[in-house]
Amino acid sequence: MASSAPAEQLKDGNITEAPPAHVLRQAAYERRVAERYSQDWAEDLTCRMEDSVAADATSKVLKGSIHFLGKVPLIVHMYKEHFIRRYHQHRTVLHIDATGSLTKQIGSKRPFLYVIVAEGERQDSTSYPLAHMLSESHTVPTLEHFLSQLSRDYKEVTQQPLAPPRVVMDFSWALIHSTVGSLLKTTVPAYLDTCWEATKGDSSPNIIVSLCGAHISHRFSRAVRESGIGGESAPGFMWLFAKLQQSKTMAELDRWFHTLVMLALSKETPRTLTEGLGSMETPSNSAAAADETEPAQEAPKTYRAQTPFGRHFDQLLTAAKGEVVEADRTTSAFYCPRLAEYLVRNLMPLAPLWTQIISNQVASNAAVESYMRIVKKQMLRGRTRLHPCEFIRRLNNDVIARVKMDSIPTRPAPRGRKRKKSPLHNPDQQEEQWAKRNPTADRPTWYARTRPPSCIQRPESCKLHAGKKQGKQKLRQPKQNAQQQREEAQLWSTIQLDNDAIQSLAPGQWMTDDALNSYCQALASSSGGRVASFATYWQPAMMAGRTSAMLKAMLTAQGVHTADIWLLPYNRRGNHWAIYIVATKTNTIVHMDSWRENGLGRPNRLDVAFIQRMLESAGIADQSSWGTWRLVDPKETPQQPDTFSCGPRVCFYAEVAATGCHRRFCDSSMRLRILQEIRSVPVIELLCQD
């Protein structure tokens, strides 16, 4: 109808000859009605099922795409022989999920779409849907019947049983029971017994059942919110739960569980958590065995009492309750016994499904979530009130299109880099170039909004690791004559380098953060309180969102409010050292950077804001006095001619600021002075011991 309107008038903005919107909607509706086989939806689906069998020319054993149709309640099973054979060639991880709000309700309940998505065979290949089910019934028998029929047809086509290496799903009891019952031919308690034996050294299950790590984290986060926990406590509990998810052995899982439970049961913040992580023993015949009957109010049919993991962590909880020191009043913000009971009752009995004690990684259901988004946004284009018959027709067309796309041969992706044309010759063809995103620290994605509690010792993996090579640009090395090289080689041959921090001080090596922190701390220790030194991870600590009260307590405890010089070394983009020097008497912040190429090396506004906040918390400055402060960034700072001397130069700047003595910078002599100083620091002496 719209095509019959005059194109010239529409181009000029005259839409009087074009049909209005309601006429177009009516025409689209009439076209959809005409595509139906019958006005009765049940008969329409039956005819569509027969039509899919007659139109299928690619399948040999399993014709059509609709293989089961139930009318009351509405149940439709859909899968193609093409995808079954493709999965049989490369058995990958299966992802199962369900979503609603796709079709309108025609019976007692609104239909849900259940999808089984298989991961791609290679890293560069996309995932594909193995099977679909549209159902008004969401019970275990319905889901188990769907998976059992798929397994039976899979064996009929391939002559082998359906045995994926791993099945990932969200935390749904219906999905868990139906998957274990249909694919593993057992029950959930029996499967957990097999996992318990696997933790003792026996063979692992043939099919690993896993829960999505993000979904289980959201469930625990909701439990934390419902328990009334907020402030610093909520991110602290989420950080500990992430450590539970990353646990690869039962001993590690027990330690972090004990830490979380002790934190939730103590009315006062326990001080022993920082040093008690490695010394906690699993109660076997001690207090836990004696008090084994204390939580016996639990029903024998619950997984807490029925599974070995439930009984094991129930004993750990009982032992933790005996270790808690009684207090008259509650002073800990982490006190929440309800959260500990929730963890033992609902999550810990299923520990093999969401930790790494059986598998080598925390599972993610991103593949099926991405497919659901494609169905809603691209296939349905946001329309979620379709009739089930119309939805089945569109889904069937999409599956047929995917089969045809698989039959089209694809060219292999080029492996080499293609040289880009010069912008001088083709300025109109140049795309906008964006800088690469700075790689994050070695932490999983669920660390995004978490941080360890203040009473938990900061792990080494959260500190800044500065072991990367600096820069991608090749620079000329400083020239040395043969006499200097022989003298340096003879001098360094007499020094024993016995750990990473000391080894990084050898000529031509990139200095680590431990060596840099140790030298700055040695300068501060020998100044008699006139100099204060901050570790190189003061930036991540400020980004963690410390409150003013926490900052004030921390700075007062370290005595920095009386220091005249502050040394704040930092790492820029993971491959370069620089330093901020704060002179509190002259109200000056000096930024020293020996690498200023490509517009880099300037003070960061966020860093300056952090320093201002630290000065305000220490009581040295306030909002009214910032007009008297100045930020100095000397452009005449000597630039390094190599890729490894930024660390010794930062130490040189710190030495000049702390001692006031001026001397000529020499990389080799500076490294020797650093080595001599940090060997006198007790911490480094402990590190150097064999």
3-state secondary structure 177-230: HHHHHHHCCCCHHHHHHHHHHHHCCCCCCCCEEEECHHHHHHHHHHHHHHCCCC
Cis ω before 73 (30° cut-off from 0): yes
The pair of structure tokens assigned to 402 is 């995917």
* 261 lies in some domain: yes
pLDDT for 409 equals: 65
pTM: 0.59
Nearest to 368 by CA among 83, 117, 113: 117
Domain identity same for 226 and 200: no
Domain identity same for 204 and 224: no
Total length of the chain: 690
* 434 lies in some domain: no
Nearest to 539 by CA among 489, 593, 481, 580: 580
196-210, 235-249, 452-466, range with the lowest pLDDT: 452-466
Domain identity same for 253 and 331: yes
Mean pLDDT of 621-631: 81
pLDDT for 79 equals: 93
DSSP line for 57-116: -S-SSS-SSEEEEETTTTEEEE--HHHHHHHHHS---EEEEEE-SSB---SSS--EEEEE
Q: Which helix (H) or strand (E) holds 611?
A: helix 605-617
The pair of structure tokens assigned to 449 is 């909004």
233-242, 352-361, 418-427, range with the lowest pLDDT: 418-427
Q: List the beta bridge partners of residue 131.
A: 116
* 285 lies in some domain: yes
Domain identity same for 207 and 314: no
Looking at the predicted structure, is the pLDDT value of residue 479 above 80? no
Mean pLDDT of 252-281: 72
Give the separation between CA 392 and CA 45, rounded to whole angstroms.
Answer: 8
Burial of 521 (0-12, 13-18, 19+ CB in 10 A): buried
Q: List the beta bridge partners of residue 567.
A: 533, 581
Mean pLDDT of 152-165: 93
Model confidence band, residue 413 (pLDDT cutoffs 50, 70, 90): low
pLDDT for 147 equals: 95
Strands 565-571, 531-533: pairing kind: parallel
Give the separation between CA 690 and CA 687, rounded to whole angstroms.
Answer: 8
CB 167 within 8 A of CB 208: yes
Looking at the predicted structure, is the pLDDT value of residue 17 above 80? no
Percent helix / strand / coil, the chain, rounded to 5: 45, 10, 45
The domain tally of the chain equals: 4
Model confidence band, residue 110 (pLDDT cutoffs 50, 70, 90): confident
Strands 577-583, 565-571: pairing kind: antiparallel
Mean pLDDT of 537-562: 67
Looking at the predicted structure, is the pLDDT value of residue 94 above 90? yes
178-182, 297-301, 581-585, range with the lowest pLDDT: 297-301
491-500, 502-511, 586-595, range with the lowest pLDDT: 491-500
Query: Nearest 10 degrees: CA dihedral of 593, 599, 605, 611?
Result: 0
CB 578 within 8 A of CB 601: yes
CB 524 within 8 A of CB 533: yes
Q: 173-211, pLDDT tens digit by residue?
A: 999 999 999 999 999 999 999 999 999 887 788 899 999
Domain identity same for 136 and 285: no
177 CA to centre of own chain: 28
Domain identity same for 551 and 684: yes
Domain identity same for 519 and 607: yes
DSSP line for 30-64: HHHHHT-S-SSHHHHHHHHHHHHHHH--S-SSS-S
Mean pLDDT for all residues in the chain: 77
Q: Angle at CA 253, nearest 5°, toward 248 and 256?
A: 130
* 420 lies in some domain: no
Domain identity same for 317 and 395: no
Mean pLDDT of 12-35: 68
315 CA to centre of own chain: 31
CB 451 within 8 A of CB 239: yes
CB 162 within 8 A of CB 150: yes
Give the separation between CA 664 and CA 671, rounded to whole angstroms.
Answer: 14
Residue 28: how many CB atoms within 10 A of its CB? 10
Residue that the structure tokens 């049989």 belong to:
88
Model confidence band, residue 255 (pLDDT cutoffs 50, 70, 90): very high
Q: 313-366, pLDDT tens digit by residue?
A: 999 999 999 888 887 787 888 889 999 999 999 999 999 999 999 887 888 999
CB 113 within 8 A of CB 98: yes
Give the separation between CA 552 and CA 6, rounded to whole angstroms.
Answer: 75
Report for 6-20, 82-96, 633-647: range of highest mean pLDDT: 82-96
CB 536 within 8 A of CB 579: no
7 CA to centre of own chain: 53
Domain identity same for 246 and 342: yes
- CATH number for position 109: 3.30.420
Domain identity same for 514 and 651: yes
Give the separation between CA 234 and CA 217, rounded to whole angstroms.
Answer: 12
Give the separation between CA 541 and CA 518, rounded to whole angstroms.
Answer: 18
Q: Which helix (H) or strand (E) holds 533?
A: strand 531-533
The pair of structure tokens assigned to 357 is 């004690």
What 3-state class would DSSP assign to 532? Answer: strand
Domain identity same for 8 and 110: no
Give the separation between CA 556 and CA 618, rounded to whole angstroms.
Answer: 7
DSSP line for 268-310: S--GGGTT-TTT----SSSHHHHTTTTTTTS-TTSHHHHSHHH
What 3-state class would DSSP assign to 210? Answer: strand
CB 216 within 8 A of CB 171: yes
pLDDT for 451 equals: 64
pLDDT for 502 equals: 74
Domain identity same for 207 and 224: no
Q: At 97, which amino acid appears?
A: D
Residue that the structure tokens 């349905």 belong to:
380
Give the separation between CA 319 and CA 324, rounded to whole angstroms.
Answer: 9
CB 18 within 8 A of CB 2: yes
Between these two residues, 583 and 484, which has the higher pLDDT value?
Answer: 583
Nearest to 628 by CA among 585, 587, 591: 587
Structural domain of 301 = 217-354
* 21 lies in some domain: yes
* 613 lies in some domain: yes
Looking at the predicted structure, is the pLDDT value of residue 74 above 70? yes
* 489 lies in some domain: no
With a pLDDT cut of 90, the percent of the chain lying above it is: 26
94-103, 472-481, 606-615, 674-683, range with the lowest pLDDT: 472-481
Model confidence band, residue 15 (pLDDT cutoffs 50, 70, 90): low
501-505, 542-546, 584-588, range with the lowest pLDDT: 542-546
Model confidence band, residue 124 (pLDDT cutoffs 50, 70, 90): low
50-54, 184-188, 557-561, range with the lowest pLDDT: 557-561
* 276 lies in some domain: yes
Q: Which helix (H) or strand (E) holds 569?
A: strand 565-571
Strands 128-135, 75-78: pairing kind: antiparallel
